[in-house]
Amino acid sequence: MQALVYHGAHDVRVDHVPDPILQEPDDIILRVTATAICGSDLHLYRGKVPGMKQGDILGHEFMGVVEEVGPKVTALRRGDRVVVPFTISCGDCFFCRRTLFAACENTNTDGRGALLNAKGIRPGAGMFGYTHPYGGYAGGQAEYVRVPKANVGPIKIPDVLSDEHVLFLSDILPTGYQAVLQAHVGQGSSVAIFGAGPVGCMAAACARLLGCEHILMVDDQAYRLAFAQQTYGVVPINFAEIDDPAQFILDATAQRGVDVSIDAVGFEAKGSALETLLTNLKLEGSSGHALRQAIASTRRGGVLSVPGVYAGFIHGFLFGDAFEKGLTFCMGQTHVQQHMPTLLAHIEAGRLHPELLISHRLPLSAAAEGYRMFERKEDFCRKVILTPDLL
């Protein structure tokens, strides 16, 4: 089959690789009909996450049709059309029973937990196409993919909904939703979202869904901000023009700050030349620029919700400011399975339109071009979806 294979930083190629086969009795083999490139894939693409090996197949946002089922698969049949969550979860461990699917203890036997201060804790859930520390599972930017724990993850999709309507249930829609839900965003909330990428946009869409009308959004990409302004009614703050977005947000909120800040940027945040240099030299785990801005923008007693991915330590974290303001933090990988049914119902009812985000549709064979465009933000790229080439 054809699959998008990692060869090194900024070097991904569509190669011919062996077809996946069933390995466990509760596996399925999925024929992929649509897959997307995520901001998380960009961290891998830039070579910023340790644990990728040459030959690894990327991709954790995908859907398709069940081609083969293992003997212990009871939830699905051949021919079912499903979206697959990026988290691989057993459904039966301490964490899965609490619906904390990203913390599953049984699906990542290769990895390590809490890298810097592990004290022997188990790693969280395995993930598709996301390095060996996350389990080394082959990803779904491919014609076929093996899906383990198939009784727990994939969600069946009614025929009336197209792939484009539902594909983002695999990651970015639940990620945006969890970011606002865990911060208790609702009617009357004020929210500042850092990052107008796909995750920031899905957070804005979900904040609107939950009744929030006052959303400020920070980025330096005018075209992304313009899209979010038109589509989700956000107030755009372009940090290419406004030096200190946090000050702008304070001025817009009677010098108090917003109820909730959402950091949908993560560890490669722009804005601090020093931290960018230190992270490139691996002397710093993450750039803390967006986090510091988010802390400064949040009101006393408010919530800072962090879907953006962070790694290692940050020297300039301003924990004292966070303490002094009495902030609540929530963060982490998304418990995708927890949110999929609710969000599918919202899509079916026409209350969410995640497909509006799609800016580019490419055949799988052009995946490397898709990565390049998404990374460089060329051609007003917001979100790329790939479909296996028509024969």
> Binding-site residue total for ligand NAD (CB under 6 A)?
34
What is the CB neighbour count within 10 angstroms for residue 327?
20
Q: How far is the CB of 175 from ligand NAD (least distance, A)?
A: 4
Q: How far is the CB of 92 from Zn ion (least distance, A)?
A: 6
Residue 198 sits at the vertex; the CA angle it makes with 196 and 199, to the nearest 5 degrees, is 85
Cβ atoms of 150 and 70 closer than 8 Å: yes
What is the CB neighbour count within 10 angstroms for residue 301?
11
User: E strand or H helix at 214, and its extent?
Assistant: strand 214-219
Q: Which is nearer to ligand NAD, 157 or 179 (CB)?
A: 179
State the binding string over 309-348 for ligand NAD (x if CB under 6 A, else -). x-----------------------xx--------------
If binding is defined by CB under 5 A, does position 104 make contact with Zn ion? Answer: yes
If binding is defined by CB under 6 A, does position 153 make contact with ligand NAD? Answer: no
Contacts (CB under 6 A) with ligand NAD, residues 26-65? 38-40, 42-43
State the binding string over 34-63 for Zn ion (x if CB under 5 A, else -). ----x-x-----------------------
Q: CA distances (Å), 335 to each of 120, 194, 388, in order?
A: 23, 21, 28
If binding is defined by CB under 5 A, does position 96 make contact with Zn ion? Answer: yes
Q: Which is nearer to ligand NAD, 70 or 174 (CB)?
A: 174
Pairing of strands 190-194, 214-219: parallel
Helix, strand, or coil (residue 134): helix
Residues counted in the chain: 391
Residue type present at position 251: D
The whole-angstrom separation of Cα 373 and Cα 220 is 17
State the binding string over 245-264 for ligand NAD (x if CB under 6 A, else -). -------------------x
* Token duo for residue 175: 């990620």
Cα torsion angle, 210, 235, 241, 359, sign:
positive
Q: How far is the CB of 90 from Zn ion (least distance, A)?
A: 3
What residue ranges bind ligand NAD (CB under 6 A)? 38-40, 42-43, 171-172, 175, 194-200, 218-221, 224, 239, 264-266, 269-271, 289-290, 307-309, 333-334
| Interface residue list for Zn ion (CB under 5 A) | 38, 40, 89-90, 93, 96, 104, 106, 171
